[in-house]
Amino acid sequence: MPEIGINRELSVGEVGAIQHRRNVIMIAGLAVVFIGAFFFSLRDLSPLYTVGVIFLLGFFLVAFINIRIGFVIV
């Protein structure tokens, strides 16, 4: 059975470019979620809940950064 596609080793630069693109997409996605949740909470919730949502989103952001660093180290 013939192989589909071409299998070749990626250079260090190509791997770095792929990882950089993935990181930019993840950060942009997080920014969209953060901004959307912030404006949703401003519109529909009381100010105290808005502060709580911002606090929880901050924890989520820190946890996400720690997970990314953990994957890089491992």
Any residues with CB less than 8 A from the CB of 61 and at least 6 apart, and which? 30, 34
Is the CB of residue 30 less than 8 Å from the CB of residue 57? no
What CA–CA distances, in Å, run from 27 to 11, 23, 24, 31?
24, 6, 5, 6
Sketch the domain layout of the chain as residue ranges.
14-73
pLDDT digits (tens, 9 = 90+) for 59-72: 877 777 776 666 55
pLDDT digits (tens, 9 = 90+) for 3-44: 666 777 888 888 888 888 887 887 788 778 878 877 877 777
**Mean pLDDT of the 54-63 span:** 78
What local confidence, expressed as pLDDT, does residue 2 receive?
60
What local confidence, expressed as pLDDT, does residue 74 receive?
47
